[in-house]
Amino acid sequence: MPAVKRAPTRAKAVGKPAKKPVKRPAAAPLRKRPLPTRVSAVAIDLGVLNDHLGYFVRRLQVWIFQDFIRRLSHIDISPAQFSVLVIIGANEGLSQSELAATLGIERARMVRMLHLLDRRGLTERLPSSADGRRHALRLTRAGQTQLKQAKALAAQHEASLLPKLGPERYRMMLEALREI
């Protein structure tokens, strides 16, 4: 009986000393008669996934983000960070809550993000004149410079989407999505 007794790979490497005998087998015994496997290189059927917008939107989003991340990897700016910098740059003095709500990011998450951007010297949190609770956000000089570079790279990224998606499809989708 070949197959499937291959679990005990590197039993106890560095884990904590006390930790149960480790659920080694992982994939259960499974002792049934074999199955014809797949017909090999035959295209796999997506089934009802073909009728689900969410599936395709997800795939497209991941694909777009990968290209974006790759192109901005030089300056180490993630899509989320880019959106934060853009919004602050276009709305100097807004609060963290407004920023978070605009981008659909949790307030708590935004705190840590801004903390990082602060440490990198890209953003500032100034005391708000009217409201002692708020922080008025703005870009530092360095932040403005960085944002300019990021925008240039992001524009290249965006331009690269056109041929890959088809110019008509691209414009159609962008227009449709803006309205939603």
Window 34-63: residues binding DNA (CB under 7 A): none
Which of 94, 90, 88 has the alpha carbon at shortest distance from 117? 88
Residue 74 lies near DNA (rule: CB under 7 A): no
Asked if 178 is part of the footprint of a copy of itself (rule: CB under 8 A), the reply reads yes
CB within 8 Å of 8: residues ≥ 6 apart: 24
Q: Which residues make beta-bridge pairs with 139?
A: 123
| 78 binds DNA per the rule CB under 7 A | yes
**Measured from the CB of residue 64, what is the shortest distance to a copy of itself in angstroms?**
4
177 binds, among a copy of itself, DNA, none (CB under 5 to 8 A by kind): a copy of itself
Q: How many CB atoms lie within 10 A of CB 20?
A: 6
Could you tell me if 117 and 84 are in contact, meaning their C-beta atoms sit under 8 angstroms apart? yes
Identify which of residues 108 and 159 has a Cβ nearer to DNA in the complex.
Answer: 108
State yes or no: residue 7 binds DNA (CB under 7 A): yes
**Helix 107-119 vs helix 79-90: angle between axes, to the nearest 10 degrees?**
90
Residue 159 partner contact from a copy of itself, DNA, none using kind-dependent CB cut-offs of 5 to 8 Å: none
Contact 123, 139 (CB under 8 A): yes
Q: Considering only residues 29-88, where is the footprint of a copy of itself by CB under 8 A?
A: 30, 32-38, 44-62, 64-65, 68, 79, 83, 86-87
Q: Does 174 bind a copy of itself (CB under 8 A)?
A: yes
* Other CB atoms within 10 A of residue 165 CB: 17
Residue 131 touching DNA (CB under 7 A): yes
Selection from 167, 162, 155, 163 nearest residue 71 by Cα: 155
134 binds a copy of itself (CB under 8 A): yes
Q: Which residues bind DNA (CB under 7 A)?
A: 2-10, 12-15, 22-27, 66, 78-81, 95-97, 105-109, 111-115, 125, 130-135
